[in-house]
Amino acid sequence: MIIATTIEALQEAKESLKGSIGFVPTMGALHQGHLSLIQQARAENEHLIVSVFVNPTQFLEGEDLDAYPRREQADIKICELAGVDILFMPGIDVMYEKDELSIAAPAIRGYVLEGERRPGHFDGMLQVVMKLLNLSSADRAYFGKKDAQQLSLIDQMVKHYFMDVQIVPCEIVRDEKGLALSSRNVYLSEEEKERALSLSRALKTATRMVMAGELNCERLKTEMREVLAVTDEVEYVAIVDRSFGLLEEVEIGNTIILIAARVGKPRLIDNLWI
Q: Choose, by CB under 6 A, the member of 7, 9, 83, 147 that binds ligand PAF.
A: 147
Active centre residues (catalytic): 34
Nearer to ligand PAF, 57 or 198 (CB): 57
Residue count of the chain: 274
Nearer to ligand PAF, 148 or 224 (CB): 148
In order, the DSSP letters of 161-210 are TT-S-EEEEEPPPB-TTSPBP-GGGGG--HHHHHHHHHHHHHHHHHHHHH
Q: Does 26 bind ligand PAF (CB under 6 A)?
A: yes
Phi first, then psi, for residue 198 (nearest 5°) are -60, -25
State the minimum distance, in angstroms, from the CB of residue 114 to ligand PAF. Answer: 11
Q: Does 55 bind ligand PAF (CB under 6 A)?
A: yes
Nearer to ligand PAF, 198 or 244 (CB): 244
Q: Does 57 bind ligand PAF (CB under 6 A)?
A: no
State the minimum distance, in angstroms, from the CB of residue 26 to ligand PAF. Answer: 5
Nearer to ligand PAF, 25 or 120 (CB): 25
Q: Does 136 bind ligand PAF (CB under 6 A)?
A: no
Q: Residue 40 in 3-state DSSP?
A: helix
For ligand PAF, which stretch binds (CB under 6 A), given 20-28, 35-43, 172-180, 198-206? 20-28
Q: Choose, by CB under 6 A, the member of 128, 240, 259, 268 that binds ligand PAF.
A: 128
Q: Choose, by CB under 6 A, the member of 38, 125, 138, 258 that binds ligand PAF.
A: 125
End-to-end alpha carbon distance in the chain: 39
In order, the DSSP letters of 86-144 are EEE---HHHH--SS-------TTTTTSTHHHHSTTHHHHHHHHHHHHHHHHT-SEEEEE
Nearer to ligand PAF, 129 or 172 (CB): 129
State the minimum distance, in angstroms, from the CB of residue 128 to ligand PAF. Answer: 5
Nearer to ligand PAF, 113 or 224 (CB): 113
Nearest to 73 by CA among 103, 52, 98, 97: 52
- Name, in order, each residue with C-beta under 8 angstroms of 115's C-beta and a sequence gap of 6 or more: 105, 109, 121, 122, 149
CA dist 198 → 48, 121, 135, 189, 195 (Å):
36, 26, 39, 15, 6
Q: What's the DSSP call for residue 216?
A: B
Q: Does 110 bind ligand PAF (CB under 6 A)?
A: no
Interface positions, 161-190, toward ligand PAF (CB under 6 A): none
* Dist CA 183 CA 68 (whole Å): 8
* Dist CA 261 CA 240 (whole Å): 17
Q: Choose, by CB under 6 A, the member of 30, 87, 129, 196 that binds ligand PAF.
A: 129
Q: Choose, by CB under 6 A, the member of 13, 21, 27, 82 that binds ligand PAF.
A: 27
Nearest to 244 by CA among 59, 115, 91, 72: 115
Binding site for ligand PAF (CB under 6 A): 25-27, 55, 58, 125, 128-129, 147, 150
